[in-house]
Amino acid sequence: GEAARILTGGMVPEGADAVVMEEFTTAPDAETLEARRPVAVGENILAIGDDLKKEELILGAGSRLRSQDVGALAGVGVTSVEVHRRPRVAILPTGDELIDPRETPRVGQVRDINRFSLAAGVVEAGGEPQTEEILPDDLAVIKERLERAVGHADVVLISGGSSMGLRDYTVEAIDSLGEPGVLVHGISIKPGKPTIIGRIERDGEDKAVIGIPGHPVSALMIFHAFVQPVIQQLSGEVARTETETEGLVATLSRNVASAPGREDLVRVTLEEGENGPVVHPLMGNSAMISTMTKADGYITIPLEAEGLREGAQVRVHLY
């Protein structure tokens, strides 16, 4: 037989039908090459069309571009593609009790968490966050900032002011900006019961306005359950399958109680068990952000259930 040296990834000479890696060869002299292991016909050779065939679809519309997708496009000579604009998401934190994270809280004050956690969530979902400074519990100020936000954003998130407190102005502010206004005030989900869902029409476009609970855990849980899918849809991303969106199936490590008539979103941690993944519920108040930093995802207890038993197979929504 005959042999010729080629570079990794290079074209093989005409008539060659296999490639053997240099480390598996020896050369007793300048005219002889010995292969120290068997070599099959076609080994280490890619024929034309093995990777991609002419006119084969590389990426479909609605695909989110990942690093490997960009590399594949470069490999076939595509240097530009049409993409959807990132949805603009305005974030309005409200509450006289809120202070900037750089400040030291006094009695009755708390650092503003939601402005930053929601902004990070928007980026993860493929949107462009536009954050406002902390707004006081003042209806006129909230209405003015909301009107401005609706003018330039595709989605508006108002953090705080969604419960039935005396100074919760979100519902009134949304309704003041025109029809249809507030569509939903209160949902059968824990955490996140006081969530507000509204719609405002501006310049022929529908703008989603969502009142997010002020408690940090409730805010993030509602964001993942409701807001993230909206951002992904507005960005043109094709809806994924249940398995892709809801992660994996795992075994529940202990009983979890729930009240019928509401859907419970329970934070969980994951570990590898003898017979597959195991989930451990993380219980805690909806103001305890530590339960979110420890969580790998969450599970859902259905509306009609009174809880889940130890050993149940549950689907985990991964963060």
Residues 314 and 219 both lie in one domain: no
Looking at 234, 254, 279, the residue that finishes a domain is 234
Check residue 288 and give its pLDDT.
Answer: 78
User: Mean pLDDT across the chain, nearest whole number?
Assistant: 90
> 10 falls in which pLDDT band (50, 70, 90)?
confident
Question: For the residues 128-143, what does the mean pLDDT come to?
Answer: 95
- pLDDT at position 103 over 70: yes
204 lies in the same domain as 291? no
* 32 contact partners, CB below 8 Å, separation of at least 6: none
Kindly state whether residue 257 falls inside one of the protein's structural domains: yes
* Mean of pLDDT values over 17-45: 90
pLDDT of residue 166: 46
Which of the residue ranges 15-24, 47-56, 143-152 would you say has the lowest mean pLDDT? Answer: 47-56
Residues 99 and 222 in one domain: yes
**How many structural domains compose the chain?**
2
Q: Are 140 and 242 in contact (CB under 8 A)?
A: no
For the purposes of burial, counting CB atoms within 10 Å of the CB of 284, is it exposed (0-12), middle (13-18) or buried (19 or more)? middle
131 pLDDT more than 60: yes
* Domain limit, last residue, from 210, 234, 258: 234
**SS3 for 185?**
strand
**For 234-270, what is each residue's pLDDT tens digit?**
999 876 655 455 568 999 999 999 988 999 999 999 9
194 and 97 in a single domain? The answer is yes
Query: pLDDT at position 284, please?
Result: 72
In this predicted structure, the answer to whether residue 286 has a pLDDT above a threshold of 90 is no
**How large is the average pLDDT for residues 140-163?**
91
CATH of the domain at 298: 2.40.340.10
pLDDT of residue 165: 59
Are 267 and 292 spatial neighbours (Cβ–Cβ below 8 Å)? yes
| pLDDT at 223 > cutoff 50 | yes
**101/114 Cα distance (integer angstroms):** 11
- Indicate whether 95 and 220 sit together in one domain: yes
User: Which residue is associated with the tokens 């060869």?
Assistant: 25
Q: The domain spanning residue 212 has which CATH number?
A: 3.40.980.10
**Is this prediction's pTM over 0.85?**
no
- H or E, element range at 6: none
Per residue in 183-202, pLDDT tens?
999 999 999 999 999 999 98
| Inside any domain, residue 15 | no
In a domain, 294, yes or no: yes
Q: In Å, how far from its chain's centre is CA 131?
A: 19
- Token pair recorded at residue 17: 């039908």
Q: Is residue 221 located within the same domain as residue 102? A: yes
Q: How far is CA 199 from CA 95, 142, 175, 209, in A?
A: 22, 16, 9, 6
Q: Computed from CA positions of residues 70, 71, 72, 78, in that sequence, does the dihedral angle turn out positive or negative?
A: positive
Choose the most confident range, by mean pLDDT, from 46-50, 137-141, 235-239.
137-141
pLDDT at 184: 94
Q: Give the number of other Cβ atoms within 10 Å of residue 227's Cβ.
A: 24
For residues 110 and 220, what is the distance between their CA atoms, to the nearest angstrom? 17
Q: Let me know if residue 163 belongs to a domain.
A: yes
What totals of helices (H) and strands (E) does the chain contain, helices first?
8, 18
> For residue 164, what pLDDT is reported?
58
pLDDT value of position 51: 85
- Pairing relation of β-strands 189-190 and 263-273? parallel
**Full residue range of the structural domain in which residue 141 is found:** 88-234
Mean pLDDT, residues 69-97 taken together? 94
Q: Does one domain contain both 210 and 264?
A: no
User: Within this chain, do residues 278 and 206 fall inside the same structural domain, yes or no?
Assistant: no
Tell the burial category of 16 from Cβ atoms under 10 Å away from its Cβ (0-12, 13-18, 19+): middle
Q: Does 6 fall in a domain?
A: no
Confidence grade of residue 162 (pLDDT, cut at 50, 70, 90): low
Q: How far apart are alpha carbons 235 and 68 in whole angstroms?
A: 20
8 A C-beta contact, residue 167 and residue 137: yes
Name the DSSP letter for residue 155.
E
**Token representation of residue 129:** 């966050």
Longest dimension (CA), the chain: 93
Q: Which of 234, 252, 269 is the last residue of a domain?
A: 234
How does pLDDT run across 201-219, given as a tens digit for each residue? 988 889 999 999 999 999 9
What whole-number distance in Å separates Cα of residue 42 and Cα of residue 171? 69
What is the three-class DSSP state of 110? strand
